[in-house]
A and B are shown apart, each in its own frame.
Chain A
């Protein structure tokens, strides 16, 4: 597609349920990032994909969080047994290669997750 697409745009769930967030990056972009943005806060790095592999998962807050990417394209971020502190906007971004110093990131509009 023309831009990074994220779905759903809004998700309301009950505490303890699992949720799956989807990111469809720009076609041809090998690098994919997940960030979390809590209300009034900056961007918290979660995970980085280069192709289908994730060389850096260091930002995932706990083992309840996991992510995968298939076919070098779509990525899903899964949060198991959601907690209220997981409520945030989850942002996905992609870039052409990842390693270039001056490379621009393209962001999706995010998924607003609310855990009741």
Chain B
């Protein structure tokens, strides 16, 4: 069946460090791919998405590129801030209603 695998956390970085959170998926067909973020005490919200191969989603300095050949959608940011501390979820969605979620990666940024 379809699945999403993302790197385990917590990931702890210093401010201004480069961030990568890996995400790979298995799916039939060509799903859309998403990164959702959950800031402390807040609800989940969409961070970025990509709907087809080679698309790059970007928002708030974060980027992720839909790589069909490696079935990946890794999240990157060039210089993280303390305010980026949150839990990040990778997800895929096919043509039906169901989202397939990764387990989430907690990111801790230290000043």
Q: Which residues of A does B touch, CB under 8 Å?
A: 4, 31, 33, 40-43, 45, 48, 50, 56, 91, 93, 98-99, 101-105, 107-110
Contact = CB atoms under 8 A, between A and B. Distances in A.
Given A93-B44, A101-B94, A101-B95, A42 B32 contact: no
A45 B97 contact: no
A40 to B, nearest CB: 8
Contacts of A99: 95-97
B46 A104 contact: yes
A101 B43 contact: no
Given A102-B32, A105-B46, 10 more contacts: A4-B43, A41-B103, A42-B89, A43-B101, A50-B97, A99-B95, A99-B97, A101-B93, A107-B44, A109-B42
Interface of B: 31-32, 34, 36, 42-46, 49, 51, 89, 93-99, 101-104, 106
B43 A102 contact: no
Contact of A45 (B45, B96, B98, B104): B98
Nearest to B45: A107
Contact of A105 (B42, B94, B99, B106): B99
Contacts of B106: 40
A105 B97 CA distance: 10
18 contacts: A31-B97, A40-B106, A41-B103, A41-B104, A43-B89, A45-B101, A91-B43, A93-B44, A98-B97, A99-B95, A101-B31, A101-B94, A101-B95, A104-B49, A105-B36, A105-B46, A105-B99, A109-B43
